[in-house]
Amino acid sequence: MGLLRYTLNRVLQSIPVMFGIAVITFLLVNSMPGNPVDIMLAEQEASPELIAAIEARYGLDEPLHIQFLNYIGLSWILGAVGIPGFVGSPPGILQGDLGFSMYYERPVADLMLTRLPPTLLLMISAFAFAIATAVPLGVLAAKRRNQPADHVSRVVALIGVSTPSFWIGIMLIILFSVQLGWLPSGRLVYPWRDPSHYGLTSQWELYYQTVRHLILPMVALGTLQMATIMRVERSSMIESLQKEYVQLARAYGVSERKIMRKHAFRPSQLPVVTLIGLNLTSAIGGAVLIEMVFSINGMGRLLIQAIQTHDYQLTIGTTVVIGFVFVIGVIITDISYAYIDPRVSYGEEN
Task: Give the interface with other proteins as residue ranges (CB under 8 A).
Answer: 243-245, 247-255, 263, 266-267, 340-343
Spacing of C-alpha 169 from chain mean position: 18
∠ CA(329), CA(334), CA(339), 5° rounding?
120
Question: Closest approach of Cβ 269 to other proteins, in Å?
Answer: 9
| 3-state SS, residue 117 | helix
Name the DSSP letter for residue 186. Answer: S
Q: Give Dmax (Cα) for the chain.
A: 87
Comparing CB distances to other proteins, the nearer of 269 and 313 is: 269
The long-range contacts involving 68-71, CB below 8 angstroms and separated by at least 24 positions, are: 68/23, 68/26, 71/22, 71/26, 71/99, 71/313, 71/316
Nearer to other proteins, 1 or 12 (CB): 1
Query: Residue 179: which residues within 8 A CB-CB, separation 6 or more?
Result: none
Choose among 163, 145, 129, 337: nearest CA to 231.
145
Tell me how far, at minimum, the Cβ of 114 lies from other proteins, in Å.
42
Amino acid at the residue 29: V
Shortest distance in whole angstroms from residue 232 CB to other proteins: 17
How far from 227 is each of 214, 260, 275, 322, CA to CA, in Å?
Answer: 20, 21, 12, 24
Nearest distance, CB of residue 238 and other proteins, angstroms: 13
Q: Are 223 and 286 in contact (CB under 8 A)?
A: no
If the CB atoms of residues 249 and 293 are measured against other proteins, the closer one turns out to be 249
Q: How far is the CB of 302 from other proteins (least distance, A)?
A: 42
Considering the complex, state which of residue 110 and residue 348 has its C-beta at the smaller distance from other proteins.
348
Nearer CB in complex with other proteins: 272/321: 272
Residue 113 vs 248, nearer CB to other proteins: 248
Q: Which is nearer to other proteins, 215 or 340 (CB)?
A: 340
**Beta carbon of residue 154, minimum distance to other proteins (angstroms, whole number):** 20
For 157, other C-beta atoms within 10 Å of its C-beta total 22
Q: Supply the minimum distance, in Å, between the C-beta of residue 236 and other proteins.
A: 13
